Amino acid sequence: MADGHGEVTVTDRRACFGHPQSWLDLAWDGLDTADLVAPDVFQCSFRDMYNGSPQIIQLHSLWASLIFVLAAHAAFPAHPRLLGGSWLPPDFETKCQAFGRACPQVR
């Protein structure tokens, strides 16, 4: 179920989603799973801190790749998508070259 638009703050320790009716604080060390299920969709699971019930959420954002790589680096360093570089957009290397930037070896 979509909760609507809001603001997201992302750090190397968490992502906080602010919404007028609700908020979400995702600390990377509290996640059970994390994945990039589409180029702009970060999905994770965790246990509700109040009742322990399992929760699955999706954040649809242009920052989904960044959110995924920070979460995976902190909580799931052996994640296959992180290690294989498939979290990067398909045209990442081309864009690096077009802007005259050296492309890091991540795939």
Question: Residue 33: inside a domain, yes or no?
Answer: yes
Q: Within a domain: residue 103? A: no
Question: Domain with 24 in it: what CATH number?
Answer: 2.30.29.30
CB 48 within 8 A of CB 32: no
- Inform me whether the pLDDT recorded for 2 exceeds 60: no
Number of domains making up the chain:
1
Question: Which alpha helices (DSSP H) does the chain contain, by range?
Answer: 64-75, 80-84, 92-98
What's the domain range around 31? Answer: 7-79
Query: Is residue 99 in a domain?
Result: no
The answer to whether residue 97 sits within a structural domain is no
- Segment 7-41, tens digit of pLDDT: 889 999 999 988 777 788 999 999 999 999 998 99
Q: Does 21 fall in a domain?
A: yes
- Written as six digits, the tokens of 56 are 């699955």
The sign of the CA dihedral 43, 26, 32, 52 is negative
79 pLDDT exceeds 50?
A: yes
Compute the mean pLDDT over every residue in the chain, rounded to the nearest whole number.
89
Report the pLDDT value the prediction gives residue 92, as an integer from 0 to 100.
Answer: 82
Over residues 66-75, mean pLDDT: 96
Buried b (16+ CB within 10 A) or exposed e, 82-102: beeeebbeeebbeeeeeeeee
Q: Which pLDDT value is given to residue 94?
A: 86
